[in-house]
């Protein structure tokens, strides 16, 4: 198998690098490369810059305003963006609800919502999980009762990432409580400015607000905001989860963090010997690197399937499992490399006069935050069950 890029692909890589060098703000780049918090403004500014360049939808077909790039060009763009320190593109619109609307939405919904995702005018949130429904999404209890030309929605969603910034949320709701769990669910698009929608923050261990509760109390949602058929939402949810799990793998960012880990572990310590020269530590780094290389090949296979308009299959579960394991392993190795200089919270980082390097401050917060990756998007245990059933036939 020839894994080298063609001359045309190398020219495209140079084009991407030149654009990143000219369009990516230096302060945003610094925050990303030092694992500091990226603001809402950073994210929107970058999405708008890509939109103006015609690259607002790197994984979208041209018929919906995307680039139409093949899997290799998508891969090059994501890898170069991560290496350069570009903010992560918001997946909730671009890689989750966008593809669902393209595949299952009607023409009016496509005209209404898709351009605003590309331009960054709409910030989407994902309304799947509930207090009693996480990996088992078929048990969602949020109700949507049909009342003439609208639904009346009541329920609670939780662990909703960045909902404090969102103006739209896509939700799984129960529209037929008498049907079997998977058969009674619908997929609604809800304007978060509608009366009855309340966002309540959940404070994380490091003091940040990344996730939220979203309460829906007698929220009126037009029938026109239902994607596909009533009670057909389970099909659309499974399609979306395949794209979400592919995105969670985060291969480009992991490659960037692996290079960063090697740089940090190569620095001379007090005993005069870099940590990377320790055989045990070096072996762990080598194992992560091998795993990451194998994951890249699987990712290209999934991208090829998407170009052929096939939903990601069980390979998406493989990407999700291994991608999150690699992210967690890198954060653990980074903590070991930095040691006591890594501070556990934002409060500590802002008040302590640590003698360590500046990059050490956010590492503990990153380590803690990444514990969630093996749970969201369907826990890794659930993904192993999917693989056992669909690939191994168990």
CATH number at residue 263: 1.20.140.10
Structure tokens at 390: 């669909």
Q: How far apart are CA 28 and CA 23, in angstroms?
A: 11
- Same domain assignment for residues 254 and 218: no
- Measured CA to CA, the distance from residue 382 to residue 317 in angstroms comes to 9
* Domain that includes residue 305, residue range: 249-390
- Is 197 among the domain residues? yes
Catalytically active residues are: 244
Residues 46 and 176 in one domain: no
User: Is 142 part of a structural domain of the chain?
Assistant: yes
Q: Judge whether 173 and 191 are in contact, CB under 8 Å.
A: no
The mean-pLDDT minimum among 167-176, 251-260, 270-279, 352-361 falls in 352-361
Q: What is the pLDDT of residue 303?
A: 65
Residue among 243, 135, 226 at smallest CA distance from 185: 226
Give me the phi and psi of 286, to 5 degrees please.
-65, -40
Confidence of residue 352 (pLDDT cuts 50, 70, 90): very low
Is residue 358 pLDDT above 70, yes or no?
Answer: no
Q: Which pTM does this prediction carry?
A: 0.83
Helix, strand or coil, per DSSP, at residue 337: helix
Residues 226 and 258 both lie in one domain: no
Q: Is residue 113 part of a domain?
A: no
Does the residue 383 lie in any domain?
Answer: yes
Residues 195 and 256 in one domain: no
**CA distance linking residue 28 with residue 26, whole number of Å:** 5
Is 81 part of a structural domain of the chain? yes
Does an H or E element contain 203, and which?
Answer: strand 197-203
Domain boundary pick from 89, 115, 141 = 89
Q: How many domains does the chain have?
A: 3
At 120-179, the pLDDT tens digits run: 999 999 999 999 876 677 789 999 999 999 999 999 999 999 999 999 999 999 999 999
Tracing tokens 């998508």 back to the chain, one arrives at 74
* Residue 85 region by backbone torsions, left for phi larger than 0, else alpha for psi between -120 and 50, else beta: left
Domain co-membership, 265 together with 138: no
For residues 134 and 173, membership in a common domain is answered with yes
């Amino acid at each position: 198998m020839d894994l080298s890029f063609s001359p045309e692909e190398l020219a495209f890589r140079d084009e991407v690098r030149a654009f990143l060098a000219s369009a990516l703000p230096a302060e945003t780049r610094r925050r990303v490369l030092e694992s500091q918090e990226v603001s809402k403004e950073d994210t929107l500014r970058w999405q708008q810059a890509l939109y103006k360049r015609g690259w607002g939808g790197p994984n979208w077909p041209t018929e919906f305003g995307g680039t139409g790039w093949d899997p290799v060009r998508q891969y090059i763009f994501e890898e170069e963006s991560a290496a350069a320190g570009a903010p992560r593109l918001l997946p909730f619109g671009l890689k989750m609800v966008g593809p669902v609307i393209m595949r299952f939405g009607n023409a009016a919904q496509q005209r209404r919502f898709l351009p605003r995702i590309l331009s960054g005018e709409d910030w989407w949130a994902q309304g799947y999980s509930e207090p009693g429904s996480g990996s088992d999404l078929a048990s969602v209890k949020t109700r949507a009762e049909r009342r003439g030309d609208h639904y009346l929605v009541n329920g609670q969603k939780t662990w909703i990432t960045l909902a404090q910034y969102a103006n739209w949320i896509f939700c799984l709701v129960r529209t037929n409580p008498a049907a079997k769990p998977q058969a009674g669910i619908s997929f609604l698009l809800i304007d978060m400015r509608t009366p009855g929608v309340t966002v309540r923050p959940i404070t994380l261990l490091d003091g940040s607000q990344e996730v939220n509760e979203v309460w829906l109390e007698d929220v009126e949602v037009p029938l026109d905001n239902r994607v596909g058929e009533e009670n057909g939402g389970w099909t659309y949810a499974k399609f979306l989860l395949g794209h979400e799990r592919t995105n969670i793998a985060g291969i480009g960012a992991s490659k960037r963090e692996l290079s960063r880990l090697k740089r940090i572990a190569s620095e001379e310590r007090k005993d005069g010997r870099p940590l990377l020269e320790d055989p045990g530590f070096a072996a762990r780094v080598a194992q992560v690197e091998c795993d990451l290389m194998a994951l890249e090949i699987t990712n290209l296979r999934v991208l090829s399937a998407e170009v052929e308009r096939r939903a990601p299959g069980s390979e998406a579960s493989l990407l999700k499992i291994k991608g999150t394991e690699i992210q967690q392993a890198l954060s653990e190795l980074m903590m070991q490399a930095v040691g006591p200089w890594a501070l556990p919270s934002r409060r500590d980082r802002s008040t302590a006069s640590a003698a360590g390097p500046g990059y050490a401050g956010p590492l503990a917060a990153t380590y803690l935050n990444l514990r969630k990756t093996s749970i969201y998007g369907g826990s890794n245990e659930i993904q192993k069950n999917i693989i056992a059933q669909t690939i191994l036939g168990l």
